[in-house]
């Protein structure tokens, strides 16, 4: 099937067309730079940017693929999780297109799209695949039984997401939003063992084991406290070393728990997705650990890691191929959509 995928959960307006598992076009318009000086995404600014970019993105995606709207078999759109005002723009626009062109529409889970997108590069999921989702809003380990119908949550963060932790430390260091990529760049020049950064939940809380859960708020606090101590004593902050130590700690705990999960579930394949999977320290650590544990690690190219329409279209292909019923034409958005909901 040929699917038009539309994305507007946060600060990227995106449209893409996928046929089977071939990407025909992929257009992304980001309002990221408009938020930089506020230190985070401003929902009103993001929603307005979606309203402006929606039609041009869809038109460009169709033009790049050499198709008309009448040529697509269905439309898929992120219905959640995300910012309500942003979701409303993409979902309303997608419903209008579906209604006008008499096409079925699928309201899909954006986070599951981050998993589905790897198929464009690596092909179908082998049985017993585990997926590590790491983004600005999520850090979870999932068992992918059937990407169109059934996904289980194996572990999740009890507080901050990995990307959120990077963004918060980046703020302390004075980097503009989103700070993750700045930490990545500085970490490449630093010593990862210069500062002891805790890994969080290595032992489990209050005697209870959390073998696959994560916790990153303590990591951020530890780094913040260390920076304050240095400042109180009038010492300069070794920015590269702070970044390298933070990145090493976060990448290590993610890789270790993901591999432990693969062992427990008998998975020979680990899918990695979400904006934080663009992080070079995490990519290197996962590939290294995967090699050591005999697990094939599938991390998509960077432009498919951050938010895009291809991930939405690819999941749409999976839903159509699995014979899943399209969404009701009046389906609602769900800004807190749970990870176990694949489509609405």
Positions in the binding site for Mg ion (CB under 5 A): 10-11, 307
Nearest residue to Mg ion, scored by beta-carbon proximity? 11
Nearer to Mg ion by Cβ, of 83 and 243: the residue is 83
Which run of H or E residues covers position 7? Answer: strand 2-7
For Fe ion, what does the binding mask look like between residues 118 and 147, x meaning CB under 5 A? -----------------x------------
111 phi and psi, to 5 degrees?
A: -65, -40
- Binding residue for ligand ATP (CB under 6 A) from 138, 220, 257, 298? 138
Q: Tell whether 179 is in a known binding site.
A: no
**Does 274 sit near ligand ATP (CB under 6 A)?**
yes
The first and second tokens of residue 244, run together, are: 């390298």
Nearer to ligand ATP by Cβ, of 269 and 279: the residue is 279
Euclidean distance between CA atoms 148 and 187, whole angstroms: 37
**Residue 338 CB burial class (10 angstroms; 0-12, 13-18, ≥19):** exposed
**Does 7 sit near ligand ATP (CB under 6 A)?**
no
Hey, which residues does 6 pair with through a beta bridge? Answer: 15, 77
Nearer to ligand ATP by Cβ, of 155 and 178: the residue is 178
Q: C-beta of 41: minimal distance to ligand ATP in Å?
A: 7
The first and second tokens of residue 295, run together, are: 């697990």
Q: C-beta of 306: minimal distance to ligand ATP in Å?
A: 5
Nearest to 166 by CA among 111, 110, 223, 210: 223
Q: Tell whether 146 is in a known binding site.
A: no
- Binding residue for Fe ion (CB under 5 A) from 157, 307, 313, 319? 307
Q: Tell whether 26 is in a known binding site.
A: no
Euclidean distance between CA atoms 37 and 60, whole angstroms: 29
**Does 276 sit near ligand ATP (CB under 6 A)?**
yes
Name the pairing type of β-strands 105-109 and 74-80: parallel
Nearer to Mg ion by Cβ, of 163 and 316: the residue is 163
Alpha-carbon distances, residue 131 vs 68, 143, 276, 281, 295 (angstroms): 34, 6, 14, 18, 12
Which residues, other chains included, contact 40 with Cβ-Cβ below 8 Å and sequence gap of 6+? 167, 177
Q: Which residues are documented as binding site?
A: 110, 114, 133-137, 167, 180, 184, 279, 307
User: Residue numbers of the site for ligand ATP (CB under 6 A)?
Assistant: 9-10, 81-82, 110-111, 135-138, 163, 166-167, 178-181, 183-184, 274-276, 278-279, 306-307
Binding region for Fe ion (CB under 5 A): 135, 307
């Amino acid at each position: 099937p040929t699917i038009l995928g539309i994305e507007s959960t946060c600060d990227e307006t995106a449209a893409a067309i996928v046929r089977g598992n071939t990407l025909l076009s992929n257009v992304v318009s980001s309002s990221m730079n408009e938020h930089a000086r506020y230190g985070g995404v401003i929902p009103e600014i993001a929603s307005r940017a979606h309203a402006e970019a929606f039609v041009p993105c869809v038109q460009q995606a169709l033009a790049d693929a050499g198709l008309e709207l009448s040529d697509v078999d269905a439309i898929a759109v992120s219905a959640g999780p995300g910012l309500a005002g942003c979701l409303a723009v993409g979902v309303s626009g997608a419903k209008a297109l579906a209604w006008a062109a008499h096409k079925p529409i699928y309201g899909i889970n954006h986070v599951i799209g981050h998993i589905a997108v790897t198929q464009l590069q690596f092909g179908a999921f082998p049985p017993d695949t585990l997926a590590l989702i790491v983004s600005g809003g999520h850090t979870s380990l999932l068992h992918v039984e059937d990407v169109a119908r059934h996904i289980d949550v194996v572990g999740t963060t009890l507080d901050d997401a990995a990307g959120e932790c990077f963004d918060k430390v980046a703020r302390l260091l004075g980097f503009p939003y989103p700070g993750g990529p700045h930490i990545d760049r500085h970490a490449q020049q630093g010593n990862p063992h210069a500062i002891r950064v805790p890994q969080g939940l290595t032992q489990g809380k209050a005697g209870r084991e959390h073998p696959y859960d994560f916790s990153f708020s303590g990591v951020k606090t530890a780094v913040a406290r260390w920076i304050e101590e240095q400042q109180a004593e009038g010492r300069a902050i070794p920015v590269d070393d702070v970044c390298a130590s933070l990145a090493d700690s976060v990448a290590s705990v993610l890789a270790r728990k993901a591999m432990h999960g693969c062992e427990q579930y008998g998975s020979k394949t680990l899918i990695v997705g979400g904006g934080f999977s663009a992080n070079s320290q995490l990519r290197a650590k996962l590939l290294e650990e995967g090699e050591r544990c005999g697990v094939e690690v599938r991390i998509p190219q960077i432009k498919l890691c951050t938010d895009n329409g291809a991930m939405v279209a690819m999941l749409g292909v999976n839903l159509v191929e699995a014979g899943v019923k399209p969404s009701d034409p009046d389906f609602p958005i769900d800004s807190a959509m749970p990870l176990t909901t694949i489509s609405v």
